[in-house]
């Protein structure tokens, strides 16, 4: 493109959307936040006022019609990702799409194809790949510091009770999608391989109000996996844990292990005279990966301006959705699910 600065529109003014918008408002060189779109007019107007953006709307098609918009940030609920991305690709807008990429592999394939045919970048927002600690872990793996990777274990546990719309697994894909998509991507990235089989179990331990109408809803999940290169994987995810936001990962090799995960924004530990120690757990993912979000947004802008592939591709997003679908099938049918290509066996 010929412009020295890209013009970006936000579609979805929720929690993740406002993080991206804030970055593009003032922390991403050669980019400007030009528009806010949210189907709830009060949310769109509030975000536009907070971010000092002149244009806001409730219909994303208005964004697609604007010739001065170069790119869109899609942070709407997952079930709308496919239709928005298809519209953006047709309009020639570059796309940063929040995880999960979509509800199904079929939707992901449509999005991937549309972006290719439209000649636009489609980057999936797996921000942990831009976290300094995660990048250092990948460097250590590549340098052979722990020998060959044998097993990767990752957990994400959120403090807040799930929103009611999440109870319907057919509409949300459950915690495996909403909570564990980053864990799935981390396992793919650190093993350097694709999932070959998964066995998952889930249970509802903290949301009694969901049990009658949504008996298949789970707020706690564990998933065991094998990979095409014979690595092993373990994921555990939870919602409503209350004690704090807890995201950790360990990578076990033939000659060592890498531990990742800072659970505290303030690293001070208090040791008292009663022989107890204490420290505050971080209370939100918004703070734990704040810098990673910013680096992710900068990378997206650079890919557009330098006309180069994004660091996290549509294929990465699609493979994570495939594993989410496999895990939910495993929970539902209480069996190991094998993955061959993009098919579940």
Instruction: State both tokens at 43.
Output: 């949310």
Positions in the chain whose pLDDT score sits under 50: 267-268
* CA distance to 28, 36, 71, 178, per residue, from 86 (Å): 25, 19, 13, 22
Instruction: State both tokens at 171.
Output: 């509409």
Record the pTM. 0.93
The residues, any chain, with a CB within 8 Å of residue 285's CB and separated by 6 or more, are 158, 245, 247
Instruction: State both tokens at 336.
Output: 């190991």
What is the pLDDT, as a whole number, of residue 287? 61
What is the pLDDT, as a whole number, of residue 301? 98
What is the pLDDT, as a whole number, of residue 172? 94
| Rounded Cα gap, residues 157 and 243, in angstroms | 9
Q: Taking the CA of residue 195 as centre, how many other CA atoms within 13 Å lie in the half-sphere pointing to its CB?
A: 35
| Rounded Cα gap, residues 140 and 290, in angstroms | 23
Which ranges in the chain are annotated with CATH 3.40.50.720?
A: 6-128+291-313
What is the pLDDT, as a whole number, of residue 303? 97
What is the pLDDT, as a whole number, of residue 270? 53
Q: What is the pLDDT of residues 89-99, one digit of tens each?
A: 999 999 999 99
What is the pLDDT, as a whole number, of residue 132? 93
Q: Does domain 132-289+320-344 have CATH number 3.40.50.720?
A: no
What is the pLDDT, as a whole number, of residue 292? 95
Apex 188 CA angle, 184 and 192, nearest 5: 170
Bridge partner list, 199: 224
What is the pLDDT, as a whole number, of residue 261? 84
Q: What is the pLDDT of residues 123-161, one digit of tens each?
A: 999 999 999 999 999 999 999 999 999 999 999 999 999
For 6-128+291-313, the fitting CATH number among 3.40.50.11440, 3.40.50.720, 1.10.10.10, 3.30.56.10 is 3.40.50.720
Which ranges in the chain are annotated with CATH 3.30.360.10?
A: 132-289+320-344
Task: Give the number of other CB atoms < 10 A from CB of residue 294.
Answer: 19
């Amino acid at each position: 493109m010929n412009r020295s600065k890209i013009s970006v529109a936000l579609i979805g003014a929720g929690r993740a959307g406002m993080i991206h918008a804030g970055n593009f408002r003032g922390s991403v060189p050669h980019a400007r936040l030009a528009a806010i779109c949210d189907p709830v007019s009060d949310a769109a107007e509030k975000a536009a006022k907070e971010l000092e953006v002149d244009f806001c709307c409730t219909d994303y098609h208005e964004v697609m019609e604007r010739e001065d918009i170069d790119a869109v940030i899609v942070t709407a609920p997952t079930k709308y990702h496919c239709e928005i991305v298809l519209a953006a690709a047709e309009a020639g807008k570059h796309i940063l799409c929040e995880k999960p990429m979509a509800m199904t592999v079929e939707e992901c394939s449509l999005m991937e194809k549309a972006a290719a045919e439209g000649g636009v970048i489609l980057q999936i927002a797996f921000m942990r790949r831009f976290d300094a600690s995660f990048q250092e872990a990948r460097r250590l793996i590549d340098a052979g510091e722990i020998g060959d990777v044998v097993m990767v274990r990752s957990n994400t546990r959120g403090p807040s009770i799930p929103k009611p719309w999440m109870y319907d697994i057919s509409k949300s894909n459950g915690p495996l999608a909403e909570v564990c998509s980053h864990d799935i991507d981390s396992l793919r990235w650190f093993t350097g391989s694709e999932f070959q089989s998964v066995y998952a179990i889930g249970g509802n331990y903290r949301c009694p109000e969901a049990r009658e109408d949504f008996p298949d809803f789970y707020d706690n999940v564990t998933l065991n996996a094998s990979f095409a290169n014979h690595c092993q994987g373990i994921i555990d995810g939870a919602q409503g844990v209350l004690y704090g936001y807890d995201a950790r990962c360990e990578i076990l090799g033939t000659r060592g292990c890498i531990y990742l995960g800072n659970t505290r924004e303030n690293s001070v530990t208090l040791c008292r005279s009663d022989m107890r120690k204490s420290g505050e757990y971080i209370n939100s993912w918004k703070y734990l990966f704040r810098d990673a979000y910013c680096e992710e947004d900068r990378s997206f802008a650079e890919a557009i301006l330098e006309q180069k592939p994004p660091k996290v591709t549509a294929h990465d997003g699609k493979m994570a959705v495939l594993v989410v679908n496999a895990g939910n099938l495993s929970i539902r049918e209480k069996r190991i699910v094998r993955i061959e290509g993009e098919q579940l066996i």
